[in-house]
Amino acid sequence: GQQLNQSPQSMFIQEGEDVSMNCTSSSIFNTWLWYKQDPGEGPVLLIALYKAGELTSNGRLTAQFGITRKDSFLNISASIPSDVGIYFCAGQKSGNTPLVFGKGTRLSVIA
């Protein structure tokens, strides 16, 4: 099935560094979502974006909904060890259509 293009696939960073990851699609989505998944758990919603151009923050996390509606990025500032995990972007075309996920970005934080 369709999946969004998410990059980078993995990242190794030092504690305290900022992180940026992004997600692109060949088609338009009207909602963009960012999830974090820890081992053995289901994804947990971090940020939801509903409007093109929207920039939304949740603590140290900031995400933007691209103007073209075909991309989104997630920034994490001042990373800490508990940021370790897999981050997924997801797009939704309309309110009653399924979520389409990226393949994930695996983040490792070196203390």
Binding site for other proteins (CB under 8 A): 1, 3-4, 6, 31, 40-45, 48, 88, 90, 92, 94-104
CB nearer other proteins, residue 13 or residue 48: 48
Contact between 102 and 54 (Cβ < 8 Å):
no
Cβ burial, residue 40 (10 Å; 0-12/13-18/19+): exposed
Nearest distance from C-beta of residue 19 to other proteins, angstroms: 18
CB nearer to other proteins: pick between 13 and 100: 100
